[in-house]
Every structure is written in structure tokens, then in C-alpha cells.
Amino acid sequence: EVQLVESGGGLVQPGGSLRLSCAASGFTFNGYSMQWVRQAPGKGLEYVSAIDSTGSATYYANSVKDRFTVSRDNSKSTLFLQMGSLRTDDMAVYFCARVRGWSPASCAADCYLDYWGQGALVTVSS
């Protein structure tokens, strides 16, 4: 059974940092690209970041570029999101999701997100 479990959420002051983790199981983690998606309270879904299966290619939404860093440890089947210079508008539930068919800069015959974690809440407040 595919499982994605986020952790590391919590309360942080504006300007602070936080690192989220996403522990994967039930599939060969190093064979898949991954994404982070967030959802502000009462709002819709927003793509945050993507990383290829090897960790050598990383991508970010403009809203988090230069502040967030995505990485992965394939030996531990874990995805990370290092968040810095946090702002109140970064407050959200952060989901990790598995990506199928996408490799850096292109899609194969199919391109989609299939499995999602349950999310980690990040609260930014003084």
C-alpha cells in the first residue's frame, strides 16, 4: 500500500524557518518525481515545488522561489521541504504528492499526481 506521511509542521514566527518531511512507503521511492502542494485556510490548492526522482532537478512556484528548498533522501525514502523567511501568507496545510510520467521539463504519455499525504499544518504567526 502506497503511503505518504508528512511531519514537521508547527507554529513559527514570521521570518522563521521550518523543515517538513514526507516519509514514503509501499513503492520504490527513487523511481518517482514528487511535488509539494499547499492549501491556505479556506482556500484552494497551490503547487509549491517539484523534484525529479534523483533529486538533481528542482523547481519552485514564484511565490516561494529563493525561500524554499526541496530535497530528497532516496536511501531513507523521504522528501523534504526546507522553508525559510516565512511569511503569514505561507500559512497553509502542506501536502506531498507522488508524480507519475513527469521528468524534468516534460511529460510522457501520461502526467499526473496520484497519491497524496494527509498534510502538515504550518502556522506563521507572532
Binding positions for another protein, rule: CB under 8 A: 35, 37, 44-47, 50, 59, 62, 95, 100-102, 104-107, 109-119
How far is residue 59's CA from residue 43's CA, in Å, rounded to a whole number?
23
Give 110 or 126: the residue with its C-beta nearer to another protein: 110
C-alpha cell at 85: 523567511
Least distance to another protein from the beta carbon of 76, Å? 22
Give 14 or 107: the residue with its C-beta nearer to another protein: 107
Give 105 or 126: the residue with its C-beta nearer to another protein: 105
The 3-state DSSP composition of the chain as helix, strand, coil percent (nearest 5) reads 5, 60, 35
How far is residue 49's CA from residue 60's CA, in Å, rounded to a whole number?
4
